[in-house]
Amino acid sequence: MPRSLWNGTISVGVIAVPVKLYTAVETRTVRFREVHLEDGAKIEHRRFCSKEGEEVPYDDVVKGHETSKGRYVVLEKDEIAAAAGDPAHVIDVESFVETTAIDPVFYAKTYYLGAGAKGGDAYRLLHDALERTGRAGLGRFTFHNREYLAAIRPLDGVLGLHTMRFADEVVAGKEVELSKPSKGPAKKEVEMAGRLVGSLEESFSPGRYKDRYRKAVLDMIERKAAGKKPKEETPDLMAALEASLGGGK
């Protein structure tokens, strides 16, 4: 059982639902450390003052925002904490929207919400109501010293919470530069493309998609650790193309 990251309450009008926050994802990225090529020792990064050229103790380092080149406004820890929002452990639900109306681009990070102490009945009531209506609750809460907008929805049999990006953080698609086509696609071309999409249609199965890059890196690390040469694989692009076309017929 994972350890809860945050304990609090979902507030919906006069209803209070005690909950615990758990991580819903686990990053499996292969991590590397910087090491010295000659002796394999770990590289350390130290804090130096760019003006004095001397190392600065950690306690003398503060957070500053650059307002113009070389000019910084320094904020104290309590000032930053004050800007984070209400420190009370409450997820204040402001409204409910159709889950399908939220574009996935607005979802940032996903968590699970478990039932808190003596909150099982209220938790199940909220979960079932959201599941039956196809709605998500939108609210705000303070986590890790900053305020987040969050969406609460049924997820894999429990309540899920997504921290969300604000509208001004999302780049509009119309801002992407695209060359204008000389003419629109012909009806026959659209029909053929539709048939190709249809021929490759299937139900989404997350377990089918593996991280091939991670596996290749781990295999390479294992072989080098054992004193073996890494495998050299040259993909046959023509064979891959023919296989793709064959699968799309």
Mean pLDDT of 205-233: 83
Share of the chain above pLDDT 70, in %: 92
Instruction: Report CA Rg, the chain.
Output: 26
Between CA 164 and CA 170 the distance in angstroms is: 11
pTM score: 0.77
Candidate CATH numbers 3.40.50.11540, 3.10.105.10, 3.90.1150.10, 2.40.290.10; the one for domain 6-28+83-169: 2.40.290.10
Tell me the pLDDT band of 249, cut-offs 50, 70 and 90: very low
pLDDT recorded at residue 48 = 93
Question: Over 60: is that where the pLDDT of 79 sits?
Answer: yes
Domain residue ranges of the chain, discontinuous segments joined by +: 6-28+83-169, 210-249
pLDDT recorded at residue 173 = 85
Mean pLDDT of 99-111: 96
Judge contact between 24 and 35, C-beta under 8 A: no
DSSP state, 248? T
**Best mean pLDDT range from 77-81, 94-98, 192-196:** 94-98
pLDDT recorded at residue 179 = 78
- Residue 214's contacts (CB-CB under 8 Å, 6 or more residues apart) are 28, 29, 30
- Tell me which of 18-27, 53-62, 103-112, 173-182 is least confident: 173-182
pLDDT recorded at residue 105 = 95
The residue assigned the tokens 């801002």 is 175
Range list of β-strands (E), 165-215: none
Q: What is the pLDDT of residues 141-198, one digit of tens each?
A: 999 888 899 999 999 999 999 999 999 999 988 888 877 777 778 888 888 889 888 9
Q: What is the pLDDT of residues 48-75, one digit of tens each?
A: 998 899 999 999 999 899 999 989 999 8
Mean pLDDT of 108-122: 94
Name the 3-class secondary structure at 166: coil
Judge contact between 28 and 211, C-beta under 8 A: yes
